[in-house]
Structure 1
Amino acid sequence: AASMRIDSMGIDLCLPLADETKIFDGITARLIRADLTSALSIEPADLVVCWEVAEHLPESAANDFCKLLVRSTGEFLAFTAAVPGQGGMGHLNEQPKHYWREKLLASEELSYFPHLTKQVSERFLHVAPRAPWYGNNLQIFRRI
């Protein structure tokens, strides 16, 4: 993101190093470690990307995690999560796409964009054919 002159922040569940902030020519890139099952306050961002994270949290944390994503979304949310049977290390809560979509839409603050989801999904399937779950699991939302 910094190379594109975009301020960015990443959150990792198991970051091996301490939190880190770098400034590149006036552009801020932050990487923090956080427990996503506990209360967390994040400034809204124009684009929130939640990429294959939700399935690593226990089901008991799903509602609060989705509320965090909604609060953090300034305009767009790109969301993927492993579906049942996908498998993977540390997966605790593989759910069908509609499970997450219902939770994210429950606040009535986001709307689901099926056409944009389809377009971006097809692109991912084209550029990352060895990881089809990225395209298959993608859902795109926009703040209402």
Structure 2
Amino acid sequence: MPDIRPIALAAPRRGTGLLVFEYLDATKNETFYRPLGGGIDFGETAEQAVRRELREELNAELLDVRLLGVLENLFHAFGRPGHEIVFVFDCRLADQSLYTRDVLGEIRDDPGTKVMWLPLDSFTPDRPLYPAGLADLLR
């Protein structure tokens, strides 16, 4: 039986833009977008996890971290079902230079996964933002 995975995501904004990574689910031939973040380790708070994940993925420190909400995400991706409890955090990036570039590079531990700022209104059913319900939470 698969587990329910608790994750923490950072949602820094640049005007109307959201910091996301782009990924391809080849099993569905779908390119999708998601904010950076990841799993919460045992004994770690969701806020500690989101701070750790941004250091690992982007070598970025976060300021003014504040919980926006919690989403339950039931999905099918990469050929298997998934179930996540998603803690979404509003925050700012400490390094102001990260706000000056449209594309920030790649996730450090996942080469080839592009990190970029995209307008919140650019996500559509053909260009989805995951997890489901995130765009509504951020509006």
> Which fold has the larger relative contact order, with Cα–Cα distance below 8 Å and residues 6 or more apart in sequence?
2
Which structure is higher in strand share?
2
**TM-score normalized with structure 2 length:** 0.33
Greater helix fraction, Structure 1 or Structure 2 = 1
Q: TM-score, normalised by structure 1?
A: 0.32
**Larger Cα-atom Rg:** 1
